[in-house]
Structure 1
Amino acid sequence: MASAKNEKTFIIGPETADCTGVMPMKCLQVKEKPTESWTNFHSNIEGFTYEPGYEYVLKVKTERIANPPADGTSIRYILVRQVSKTRK
């Protein structure tokens, strides 16, 4: 079982935004506290299916990737549980 230090709470916004990773794509809008500004999230969250028009509160577990691809992230995000899903 993951220790609490490997878990984060993410607030996922009701819309995606245009962003650029390896190529132009749509990024989830994420923040960890309600008072923060939205930021582009360039990864995906394993086990989470995004549906536009809803704001989500998620508990996610983070795992380090030992040998990440050159164009990828060094952290893997895995859904622990969906705390809430609110229509916006």
Structure 2
Amino acid sequence: MHTPGTFTNQMQSSFSEPRLLILTDPRTDHQPIKESALGNIPTIAFCDTDSPMRYIDIGILVNGAAAWDIASEHLFSGFDAQFQSVQSD
């Protein structure tokens, strides 16, 4: 959980000035991304293909939805084969 102003408000007791910000999801971590841009802090983010790239310096493509799609397709194709063999018996 990120408290707004952590990177920009020097009067806060929780103020910190990181050298690098690494994020896992730009959609949910939009506040720290905006603050790091204001403080000229480089930002690296692990992104899906539909992630917003504004204020992100380096985006690493890790399409988590594709991994779930492949796994579910494999799981359901095995389930269908078992179901068909049960029906034929």
Same fold (TM over 0.5): no
- TM-score (normalizing by structure 1): 0.20
Q: Which one has a larger percent strand, Structure 1 or Structure 2?
A: 1
Q: Greater relative contact order: 1 or 2 (C-alpha under 8 angstroms, separation 6 or more)?
A: 1
Q: Which one has a larger percent helix, Structure 1 or Structure 2?
A: 2
Q: Give 1 or 2 for the bigger CA radius of gyration.
A: 2
